[in-house]
Amino acid sequence: MLNGKSILVTGGTGSFGKKFVEMTLQRFPGVERLVIYSRDELKQYEMQQQFNDTMYPQIRYFIGDVRDRDRLIRAFEGIDTVVHAAALKQVPAAEYNPFEAVKTNILGAQNVIESAIATGVKQVVALSTDKAAAPINLYGATKLCSDKLFTAANLFRGKRDLNFSVVRYGNVMGSRGSVIPVFSERAAERVHPNNGRGHDPLQYYAGGGGQPGVLRH
């Protein structure tokens, strides 16, 4: 399905991005180009050590921020599919820096949409979160807004051969920002593991390697 295609992953050096790249290379060795778009050059360097140029010549690294529409347009040239994984997702950080959360999670989503329309991208898959359903914090609210932007984009894409979709999943064990370490600390302190989403502690969790597969089906 992805063989012969050019794929770009925003936030590609994050927990999801790295696992997505690993699984894509394993299952679709004929992928033409796999572009890692992120703003952290150190994480890109570390990722290059894991996926070296000799073994994986199809991987490209592109420094950029989803807040920068011009940079996104440059990066999207020749891309078939965009996987949008970039986000400011730490709940406390979003609460303390609300303007920054809006710039990255909402305006960043708008930039991705407009850049995809402008450059002829065929498909955009935006990652979301269970916290966007009936949000109780700013992070969830920004992701709900982002989700609505991506679904609405299918209405104003015109006659372009372009599809926007959103994938929501729960806490991912082993990922940065996972609630699992918090639960571990509370268990050690004999505190109920409820993380504040009502009285029912039941919530959906996925293993670190589980969620990228959703995007390929």
Closest CA to 123 of 80, 153, 93, 185: 80
Catalytic pick among 18, 131, 143, 148? 131
Strands, E, within the chain: which ranges?
6-10, 33-38, 59-63, 81-84, 123-129, 163-169, 171-172, 205-206
Q: Decide: helix, strand or coil at residue 172.
A: strand
Active site residue 18: no
Q: Which amino acid is at 3?
A: N
- 3 state SS for 42-72: HHHHHHHHHCCCCCCCCEEEEECCCCCHHHH
Our CA angle for 183, 184, 190, nearest 5°, is 85
Q: Which residues pair with 169 in a beta bridge?
A: 129
Sign of the CA dihedral running 73, 69, 71, 47: negative
47 close to 18: Cβ distance less than 8 angstroms: yes
**Which residues carry out catalysis?**
131
